[in-house]
Amino acid sequence: MVLEAPRSPLREVELPRPELEQGQVRLRVQACGVCRTDLHIRDGEIAEPKLPLVLGHQIVGTVIEGGETFGRGTRVGVPWLGWTCGECRYCRSGQENLCDRARFTGYHLDGGYAEEAVADERFCFAVPENYPDAQAAPLLCAGLIGYRSLGFAGDAARIGLYGFGASAHIVAQIARSQGRRVFAFTRAGDDAAQSLARELGAEWAGDSEASPPEELDAAIIFAPVGALVPAALHAVRKGGTVICAGIHMSDIPSFPYELLWGERSVRSVANLTRRDGQELLRLAPTIPVRIEVETFPLAEAEQALGRLRAGEIRGAAVLSVALSARLLP
């Protein structure tokens, strides 16, 4: 399913098989998660993707050719971080997520909205066995970004999650397993998301404009809505942190300095390191994190993105690729 130009629907296209380069693996895609970033790229909100482009950076696939690390038939996961230079100041200081020349899957590199994908094996992960393909896929970005964001909340005991979609539903479970208390904020009247939040251990769930029953120690904003920054600052205590986890956000409205005063801080979280991936994929099955998915056949990728845009997905949207491939004539 190919994006030929921003703001145009994905099209089903037959692409030539790319030649494998040294260190690359060819995968038969089993499932690919649908991330809000895919939607931002599709909608032209993130500048200059490779075009035409195969979206998708939460790929669970089986190695069918190439590489040395994984045997043929091994199930691997491919995340957003697709390649780094290994030489820049960020790569050399454990911050490869900030690499000046990083290449991202489903943005600079063709991704997983496809029957096959090619990836640099150094950036692929082993996928925990306990997770079926569709449930494993959202761990690769929703889970990873959420996990990295939670790290920046330090030892915050009371965590607010703004936007209860794919990422938050995973983070809530990790946070609960660490003994933290979770407060979930959703679009006004989104009963489905609020009830999922309570089911997964949130002690309070309400509308994003509402005040939580007590002040928060940290807040993570997953929704791409800049107005949530002052709202979250208002909800956190002195010294608390507001973490913006998304790659794109509408403009943040101006707000009185008083909201930031008291050593509150606002920060963003960008991309992932391979270490984040290894840690999360080790941790998830031990909790165990439960992944709620809504699956779509590959050919319905555009519909999946539409449902995500409308806020109609409970948990994470995933393309079940192997299944749709079997159904092809």
Alpha carbon separation from 313 to 187, 193, 251, 295 (Å, rounded)? 13, 9, 25, 10
The count of chain residues that interact with Zn ion, using the rule CB under 5 A, is: 8
Residue 279, helix vs strand vs coil: helix
Q: C-beta of 84: minimal distance to Zn ion in Å?
A: 5
Q: C-beta of 99: minimal distance to Zn ion in Å?
A: 3
Per-residue contact string for residues 111-150; x = within reach of Zn ion by CB under 5 A? ------------------------------x---------
Q: Does 109 bind Zn ion (CB under 5 A)?
A: no
Return d(Cα 219, Cα 197) in angstroms, integer. Answer: 15
8 Å CB contact between 152 and 113: no
Q: C-beta of 145: minimal distance to Zn ion in Å?
A: 6
Return d(Cα 318, Cα 321) in angstroms, integer. Answer: 9
User: Under rule CB under 5 A, which residues in 193-222 are in contact with Zn ion?
Assistant: none
Q: Which is nearer to Zn ion, 248 or 314 (CB)?
A: 248
Helical (H) or strand (E) element with 37: helix 36-42
List the one residue from 6, 23, 74, 85 that touches Zn ion (CB under 5 A).
Answer: 85
Residue 240 neighbours by CB under 8 Å, 6+ apart:
156, 215, 216, 217, 218, 219, 264, 265
Backbone angles phi, psi at 190, to 5 degrees: -80, 80
Q: C-beta of 255: minimal distance to Zn ion in Å?
A: 28
List the one residue from 99, 127, 139, 223 that touches Zn ion (CB under 5 A).
Answer: 99
8 Å CB contact between 126 and 99: no
Q: Does 97 bind Zn ion (CB under 5 A)?
A: no
List the one residue from 24, 30, 37, 295 that touches Zn ion (CB under 5 A).
Answer: 37
8 Å CB contact between 271 and 80: yes
Q: Which is nearer to Zn ion, 150 or 236 (CB)?
A: 150
Q: Does 35 bind Zn ion (CB under 5 A)?
A: yes
Q: Does 88 bind Zn ion (CB under 5 A)?
A: yes
Q: Which is nearer to Zn ion, 85 or 325 (CB)?
A: 85
Residue ranges binding Zn ion (CB under 5 A): 35, 37, 84-85, 88, 91, 99, 141
